[in-house]
Amino acid sequence: MRKKIYMAAGYNTVSLGTGRKEFHPKKPRPGIEHYIKEAGQGTLKMINGAKNVDEGVIGNFMASRFVKQAHLGAFLPIIDEGLKYKPSLRVEGACGSGGLSLITGIKSVLSDSADVVLSMGVEVQNSVKAIYGADILAGAGWYNERKDGHAYFFPGQFSNRAGAYYEKFGREKARKGLATWFKNAIENARLCETAQEHTNKTSDLIALGLTEPSPKSFTDHLNVFDCSKVSDGASAIAIMSEEGLAKTGVPISEAVEVIGFSLKVNNITEQPKDLTVLDTVKEAAKEALSNAGITINDLATIEVHDCFTIAGVLMVEALGLAKHGEGADYVANGNTARTGKIPMNTTGGLIGWGHPTGATGVHQAVTIWEQLTGIAGKAQIEIPSDRPYGMTVNMGGDDKTIVAIVYKKTS
Amino acid sequence: MNYEDKLQNVSVLGAAGKMGSGILLLTAIEMADLQLKPENQSKTFALNAIDVSPAALSGLFLYLKAQVRKIAEKKMVALRTVYKDRKDLIENGEIIDQYIDDVLKIVHTSTSIESTYNSGLIFEAIIENSDLKVKLITQILENNNNDPWFFTNTSSVPINELDTKANINGKILGFHFYNPPAVQRLVEIIAWEKTNKDLIEFAQAYAKKLRKTLVPSNDKAGFIGNGHFMRDILFGLKQAESLFDKMSFAEAFYAVNRISQDFMIRPMGIFQLMDYVGQDVCQKIMIVMRPRLNEDSLHSDLIDQLNSQDVKGGQNSDGSQKAGILFYEKGQPTAVYDPNKKDYVKIADFKEKVDNMLGALPSLHKPWKAVVGNKGKDQILSDYFNELKAMDTLGSQLTKDYVINSKNIGLKLVTDGVTEKEDHVNTVMLMGFFHAYGPINNYFN
């Protein structure tokens, strides 16, 4: 890194959708403007106002179809009049759009073109029923493959990955690992007030996670509990230089330092060589850790892109925490739980907290910022003094666009 | 004649009615699914939707379109396979739209009975009037050269009566859907000694495709469902009358409606259910049942009075409940009709007083919603009724009487030969009326 980069002043709206008490599919809900405004204002408040912002980036996947709204960059001034005439753009990389928003902000600060970037992500998906939402989200894949794809396209893609994993390494132990991932996600979400599954009261989460998949109505190898939520929500965070911290008056102790990052893409028109491996995640994580000068074992916590439980398990392996084929056991043995070796997704991840697609990458950063600065409330985990690091891995499509970022506690 | 051939040209009489529209929907889906099979591309499937009301028929398409969309959304996984060779249909939304078109193009609306003359199968879902049914069936038989089969949705008229009077020669079967047909999984099937076995075989295959559960009833007026329901109504009315020395008309009807819902853990009170079915329909069913069963008590002056005052209940075209003996706001009863005053009396004005007279619900009470799908419901209900049994309140006494009477009605259906099995009575009430427990139970032995 040619200069120090910090993140601070994170803010998450509620992740709204099934599971939240205030959600009713047939009743009016807040629009995308509401979420942009709430998250943006949340962060502005912590950095002493819009005057300190040099530019804005909004990560968003498919507002043009979900809510028939494109041109999101120009929504920045609705957050605050003071943002009018400032640079702002929208970035897109499917469910990795939030990560791209962070990367864009980091690069702006690195290039000296900005000291303070308001990085945001937003998505409103409950505007259509899930069966039509599946069409929209399928845009994260190659259009030429849509015709032969599953009705629920992405659940279908990851069901194929799960099927391959079951076949290669054993179904029973794999399902156990996936059910444990689900259990951890819900238990962590219960500790976070903005999480979609915050009030989930199911007593036997493993039994629920082990529900047999129903190929007739859903996919061959995954059940609905293996899937992330359909969510409306936004997240925001300020990306700053040292000068930016000084300008906004944010004490360094309330920020995290970005010490490594990586953005990798894979060919969207090609099928994975091995369905049981997330190659691009592997590459991006390796590069981000190498840039940061640390190893995976130095991390205190990781936020991974568990759009499906199988993605969580495959990420564990791609990050090198478990050998190929042993990720399910690694999870089932409690290593990724909040009290385990390496707590993951401590506010629930995409399955427990929610997955407003374009916002997820930013939400992950906000969670790591909360954990490393000790303000995660009930969801707070212990950050060992010899491992003051966190990492986020945000994924667009089926292992196609990956953003990995490594963070360091500042005090 | 095989299953598919029999479904190539079908008519539904009374297609725009509450039951007819549901039967039409389910049959249209089944026929479209057959039409979409590659081997049936050259065949033409036609479903005639016949009703006397042109206005209702035009509204029928809106209903069908909305319902077919819901069904298509639910079976999207299968539909992607059905349309796999249609390269122009990529997204779920495009496939769903195409499926709706494919279902609707099978349906042809008409106000003319002549449309049935080419049909091999005719569903009859007109009002409960035996003479009218016989007249229409006779006319069709005189003009239809396809040796048609008749499936009647009658919930009360004996099949042997229609068969004999219209001279159908065994080619009629009682196939009684529950309301709404698209949702309710129960179908009562009624044959008599002359019923052609091919019809029964076809009915079993058709019900299986529609994922319906068939419960056989013997050919006695009212069959199992109305055999229980009509007598249950009459008991409710009698119980309300028994309270007139303590309460006003409206208060008594509110009390019994509450007993038969909250205290008995049923989905709706007996008078709300009457309104749901329609006071006019209840009246017609009793008119059919009373003489045929030679049971004078199957009659209610109050129901006659309500109908003469045009207080009929039933549903609006959007599915909302029309006012009947109860008045509804947001689907909940808020007033009771007093036929003497010819006006509604607000429940809020006397609710507290009557609730106090009835006494509290047992502490173990759970609402119907929390019980009906609960795996431990047997224990929940047993504990609940045990507690209620030990109570000495007006509410508990009325409930005991009602539950015991409901059981006696069920047992009477068996002794009267409407069915051989107590289980059949319970299944009909559980599935057709969404009760949480069958009427033939041991809660108050």
User: B20-40, pLDDT tens digit by residue?
Assistant: 999 999 999 999 999 999 999
Chain A: closest CA distance from residue B68 (Å): 15
Please indicate if any CB of chain A lies within 8 Å of the CB of B82.
Answer: no
Query: Can you give the pLDDT at residue B315?
Result: 84
Q: What distance in Å separates the CA atoms of residue B268 and residue B313, rounded to the nearest whole number?
A: 14
Indicate the residue of A129, A146, A147 with minimum beta-carbon distance to B73: A129
Supply the pLDDT for residue A1.
86
Please, what is the average pLDDT of chain B?
Answer: 96
Measured at the CA of A293, the angle between CA A287 and CA A298, to 5 degrees, comes to 100
pLDDT in tens, B258-304: 999 999 999 999 999 999 999 999 999 999 999 999 999 999 999 99
> Is residue A32 over pLDDT 60?
yes
Share of chain B above pLDDT 70, in %: 100
Number of H helices, E strands in chain A: 13, 9
> Domains of chain A, with CATH numbers?
5-129+230-254 (3.40.47.10), 145-227+259-409 (3.40.47.10)
Angle of CA points A87, A91, A95, to nearest 5°: 150
The residues near B191 (Cβ < 8 Å, ≥ 6 apart) are B159, B173, B174, B199, B200, B216, B219
Q: Count residue pairs from A and B with Cβ separation < 8 A.
A: 33
Closest CA of chain B from A66, distance in Å: 13
- Alpha carbon of B251 to those of A42, B82, B255, B266, B344: distances in Å? 55, 57, 6, 20, 11
- In B113-191, DSSP assigns E strands to 121-124, 149-152, 172-177, 186-190
Q: Which residue in A146, A147, A201, A203 has the most chain B C-beta atoms within 10 A of its own C-beta, making it the best mutation to test that interface?
A: A147
Confidence of residue B445 (pLDDT cuts 50, 70, 90): confident
| Residues A216-223, mean pLDDT to the nearest whole number | 97
Is A287 at the interface with chain B, CB within 8 A?
no
- Give A149-199 pLDDT, tens digit per residue: 999 999 999 999 999 999 999 999 999 999 999 999 999 999 999 999 999
Looking at the predicted structure, is the pLDDT value of residue B1 above 80? no
Q: Which of B47, B60, B50, B65 is nearest to B106 (CA)?
A: B47
Per-residue pLDDT at B333 exceeds 90: yes
Is A298 in the B-facing interface, judged by CB distances under 8 Å?
Answer: no
The predicted pLDDT at position B319 comes to 75
pLDDT for B312: 95
Show residues of chain B in contact with A135, CB under 8 Å.
91-93
Task: Reply yes or no on domain B224-432 having CATH 1.10.580.10.
Answer: no
The pLDDT value given to residue A69 = 98
**Span(s) in chain B for CATH 3.40.50.720:** 3-217
Instruction: Give pLDDT tens digits for B76-122.
Output: 999 999 999 999 999 999 999 999 999 999 999 999 999 999 999 99
Contact A215 B79 (CB under 8 A): no
CATH of the domain spanning B3-217: 3.40.50.720
Classify residue A8 as exposed, middle or buried by CB count within 10 Å of its CB (0-12, 13-18, 19+). Answer: buried
pLDDT at B316: 79
pLDDT > 80? residue B195: yes
C-beta separation of B117 from B11 below 8 A: no
More confident residue, B401 or B179: B401
Whether the bond into B291 is cis, omega within 30 of 0? no
Q: What is the mean pLDDT of residues A328-349?
A: 98
Mean pLDDT of B53-68: 92
The pLDDT of B155-184, averaged and rounded, is: 96
Mean pLDDT, to the nearest integer, of A113-131?
98
In chain B, CATH 1.10.1040.10 covers 224-432
Closest to A135 (Cβ–Cβ): which among B79, B87, B91?
B91
The answer to whether B318 contacts chain A (CB < 8 Å) is no
pTM for the model stands at 0.91
Contact A135 B93 (CB under 8 A): yes
Over the stretch A351-401, which tens digit does the pLDDT of each residue have?
A: 999 999 999 999 999 999 999 999 999 999 999 999 999 999 999 999 999
CA distance A165 to A162: 5
pLDDT averaged over every residue in chain A: 98
- Confidence bin at B320 (pLDDT 50/70/90): confident
Residue A30: strand, helix, or coil: coil
Q: Is the predicted ipTM greater than 0.90, yes or no? A: yes
Token pair for A231: 């969510």
Nearest to B162 by CA among B130, B193, B140: B130
